[in-house]
Amino acid sequence: MLIEVSLIHNNRNIMKITEEVRISDNGFVFNSRTGDSFNVNPTGLELTKLIAQGHDFDTIKSLFLEKYELDDLTFEKDFYEFVALIKHHQITSQEDPLDFK
Amino acid sequence: MSKTKITIAVTGLNNTDNPGPGVPVIRSLKESTEFEVRIIGLVYETLEPGIYMEGLCDKIFQIPYPSAGSDELIDRIEEIHQREPFDVLIPNFDAELFSFMKNEDRLLKSGIHTFLPTIKQFQERDKDKLPEYGEKYGIKVPASINLGSQNQISEIKDKFEYPVMVKGKFYDAYTAYNTEQVKQSFNKVSAKWGLPVIIQEFVKGTEVNVIALGDGQGNTIAAVPMRKQYITDKGKAWGGITLSDDKMLEITRSLIRQTKWKGGMELELIKTVKGEYYLIEINPRIPAWVYLAVGAGQNIPEALVKLALGQEVAPMETYKSGKMFVRYSYDIIVDLEKFETIAMNGEI
């Protein structure tokens, strides 16, 4: 079932999932403004949903470190890579991917 | 509520790899909630697939190409109308539009309603006048020059960077990466569509389209944006998806408001990575992917018929984004007798 992404504006979080993006529970992501669609793996889906829910970087990091066997550096590297990728595909809107706090 | 019985004549039954809009227009009309339609199919060629599709047309007539002369075409339309009267005519080819627009009053006197752009609207959006059009109506268009002869090809390198688009006046577009390729494309295009050949700046981006219907008073009755997902080697959409893009709708409404566009149209746009939109072409008729708009909630052919009959039509402002169409090819087995009938009698 497709879910509408709710946008939670947070002063600390300047990245948001764009309004036209729909994310389905099975990892299918559709941008109705560009017509692009993507498949994200379960980890990507989890990340995308956390971003959509308005969580900031620190919260997402602590959630992931708690749940998975992962070190800080690996998380940060993978996280920024993922964020840059979804920004490139206009899933998120953000001036600078590195500004995500 | 009982449906109004109506007879509609439709051209463009050539559902080939370069499909005419006739078949999807008929499918749309058959799904009308207000009309019970009887369809007269008008064909130029005896192998137009729409002739052989069961349950599509109630009657089919062959008509002469407009190149044989407008009068010949209109005389034949009137002759058909006398035998099988119809209320509305929906032409679907660019090349035949001029003859029908020119004879709009004559057709109406015979009881045939149309809903076509005016000759001025039709001519000012010609591909070779696109720069002036863009400036007049405040729309970005790629820079272009018109070539009247091969000698002018040398001018290209002073004005453009390669690649460039080489386009025919009516149809065909090729990407050329150097002077040699421009020459080849120039020869192909000019042999088929005559002169001028248009050299257009290559704008990098995604091709997106809008199907729209203007009421002739400046109102946009329908508009649905689409992105081609699968494009054939002829540049035709073989799959597409409706978009939720306010900017595309804004461009369409602004253009229809300013031009008071009457009838169906298709805007072809390039969206750059910066999010800018360049108008590359306006097709002055319903495009072949019209059935996607119907699937998304806007029955444009039905609305066009109502406008042709002088009925009020409220603008359709919503549609579903993320609706897709996927085209397919299909072999129909045909008995020789059917082919023989249309070939020998010019009607079925």
- Are the beta carbons of A33 and B227 separated by less than 8 Å? no
Question: In chain B, what residues touch A22 (CB-CB under 8 Å)?
Answer: 322
Same domain, B160 and B264: no
Task: Read off the CATH number of the domain in which B263 is found.
Answer: 3.30.470.20
Same domain, B20 and B111: yes
Q: What pLDDT sits at residue A12? A: 47
Residue B248 belongs to some domain of the structure: yes
Q: Contact B235/B173 with Cβ under 8 angstroms?
A: yes
Phi, psi of A27 (to 5 degrees): 95, 10
Q: Copy the structure tokens of residue B10.
A: 């439709």
Same domain, B208 and B197: no
Q: What parts of chain A have a pLDDT lower than 70?
A: 1-14, 94-101
- Are the beta carbons of A34 and B321 separated by less than 8 Å? no
pLDDT tens digits for range A40-63: 999 999 999 999 998 989 999 999
Residue B23 belongs to some domain of the structure: yes
Which of B345, B308, B343, B289 shows the shortest CA–CA distance to B100? B308
Question: In chain B, what residues touch A33 (CB-CB under 8 Å)?
Answer: 243-245
Q: What is the largest distance, in Å, between two alpha-carbon atoms of chain A?
A: 37
Q: Which of A20, A22, A35 sits opposite B241 (nearest CB)?
A: A35
Look over chain B and give the mean of its residue pLDDT values, rounded to a whole number.
Answer: 94
User: Given strand B4-10, what is the order of strands in its sheet?
Assistant: B59-62, B35-43, B4-10, B88-90
Question: In chain A, what residues touch B243 (CB-CB under 8 Å)?
Answer: 32-35
Cis peptide before B117 (omega within 30 of 0): no
Residue B193 belongs to some domain of the structure: yes
- Are the beta carbons of B243 and A22 separated by less than 8 Å? no
First to last CA, chain B: 33
State the Cα–Cα distance between residues B141 and B135, nearest whole angstrom.
Answer: 8
Which of B21, B11, B51 shows the shortest CA–CA distance to B300? B21
Q: What parts of chain B have a pLDDT lower than 50?
A: none
For residue B42, what are the CA distances in angstroms to A70, B14, B71, B142, B311?
A: 69, 10, 16, 36, 25
Q: What pLDDT sits at residue A98? A: 55
Q: Copy the structure tokens of residue B121.
A: 């609207």
Q: Copy the structure tokens of residue B80.
A: 């058909």
- Are the beta carbons of B321 and A32 separated by less than 8 Å? yes
CA atoms within 13 A on the CB side of B300: 34
Residue B226 belongs to some domain of the structure: yes
Under DSSP, is residue A29 helix (H, G, I), strand (E, B) or coil? strand
- The tally of domains found in chain B comes to 3
For chain B, the three-class secondary structure string (H helix, E strand, C coil) is CCCEEEEEEECCCCCCCCCCCHHHHHHHHHCCCCEEEEEEEEECCCCCHHHCCCCCCCEEEECCCHHHCHHHHHHHHHHHHHHCCCCEEECCCHHHHHHHHHCHHHHHHCCCECCCCCHHHHHHCCHHHHHHHHHHHCCCCCCEEEECCHHHHHHHHHHCCCCEEEECCCCCEEEECCHHHHHHHHHHHHHHHCCCEEEEECCCCEEEEEEEEEECCCCEEEEEEEEEEEECCCCCEEEEEECCCHHHHHHHHHHHHHHCCEEEEEEEEEECCCCCEEEEEEECCCCCCHHHHHHCCCCHHHHHHHHHCCCCCCCCCCCCCCCEEECCCCCCCCCHHHHHHHHHHCEC
Question: In chain B, what residues touch A20 (CB-CB under 8 Å)?
Answer: 244, 321
**Which residue, of B160, B178, B201, is where some domain finishes?**
B201
State the Cα–Cα distance between residues B258 and B223, nearest whole angstrom.
Answer: 16
State the Cα–Cα distance between residues B80 and B8, nearest whole angstrom.
Answer: 12
Same domain, B183 and B216: no
Same domain, B286 and B310: yes
Same domain, B290 and B177: no
Same domain, B72 and B185: no
Same domain, B191 and B228: no
Q: Copy the structure tokens of residue B36.
A: 């019970």
Same domain, B196 and B270: no
Enclosing domain of residue B166? 146-201
Same domain, B274 and B307: yes
Q: Which residues contact B251 (CB under 8 A, 6 or more apart)?
A: B139, B210, B267, B269, B277, B279
Q: Is the interface score ipTM higher than 0.85?
A: no
State the Cα–Cα distance between residues B246 and B282, nearest whole angstrom.
Answer: 19
Q: Copy the structure tokens of residue A3.
A: 């879910």
DSSP 8-state code for residue A97? G
Cis peptide before B196 (omega within 30 of 0): yes
DSSP H or E segment with residue A2:
strand A2-4
Same domain, B184 and B101: no
Give the residue from A22, A33, A87 with the most B CB atoms within 10 Å of its CB, the best one to mutate.
A33
Same domain, B295 and B223: yes
Distance from CA of A55 to the nearest CA of B (A): 27
